[in-house]
Amino acid sequence: MRVLLVEDNERLAGLVRTGLDKAGFAVDGGGTAAEGRDALAAATYDVLILDLGLPDEDGMVLLRELRARGSTMPVLILTARDGTGDRVKGLNEGADDYLLKPFAMEELVARVRALLRRSGRALEAVLTLGNLQFNSAFREARVSGRPLPLTRRELDALELLFRRAGRVVSKAALEEAIYPFDKEIASNAIEVLMHRLRKRLQTAEADVGIHTMRGIGYILAEKTP
Ligand code: CA
């Protein structure tokens, strides 16, 4: 899933990039409407995240151009403007959603996923191993087609293990992916999480398991009969 982020506030853009990257999206960025225009001409994106207050032009101009060309690319507007006028205008001009600054990274990721889901662009994001499936856009795991209820952190952990299935994922990598903004986490937090996730997979009769490599990390792999 490729995301284009057009935002001139470098600090905010950096945070958004990091957050989306951790959520499994590939992010390109630009700080002006002109850079956004160039990026849109050069590549195909699944979602556009657009700031309205850009240094060269109003982000709304870019949105208008996009829709005038007939593009149906989902657009999420980021705006610090608190008047409802701008939001209504943005939605009237063809934006699919908007988020007021400041916002929580988790909410941005959830909104982007919701846009992908609505636009039907999420279909290819399904990972499969044995009878276990993970849809990273829907944020949903299934065993033999049945939904596997997981907490957000369990989903984060399973996704990372899935993306590197058959390879060792270090405890440090898991900590960084699951607790990116927590400075202090319990030293056994990952062990506890892995224990719970393993139980859930077992209960659901998944034919994949999480193997512990003592002192190295964890591997998601198919169980050998
Ligand atoms: Ca701005």
Asked if residue 124 has pLDDT above 60, the reply is no
Q: Report the CATH architecture of 126-222.
A: Orthogonal Bundle (1.10)
What's the CA-to-centroid distance between 52 and ligand 1, angstroms?
6
User: To 10 degrees, the CA torsion angle through 192, 194, 195, 198?
Assistant: 160
Q: 9-18, 79-88, 209-218: which has the minimum mean pLDDT?
A: 79-88
What's the CA-to-centroid distance between 83 and ligand 1, angstroms?
16
Whether 48 contacts 1, CB under 8 Å: no
Q: How does residue 82 score in pLDDT terms, banded at 50, 70 and 90? A: low
pLDDT for 34-71, tens place per residue? 999 999 998 889 899 999 999 999 999 999 999 988 88
Asked if residue 121 has pLDDT above 80, the reply is no
Q: 2-119 has which fold?
A: Rossmann fold (3.40.50)
Q: Which helix (H) or strand (E) holds 11?
A: helix 10-22
What's the CA-to-centroid distance between 78 and ligand 1, angstroms?
9
pLDDT for 164-200, tens place per residue? 888 899 998 898 888 876 667 788 899 999 999 999 9
Res 183: pLDDT? 67
* Domain boundaries defined on the chain: 2-119, 126-222
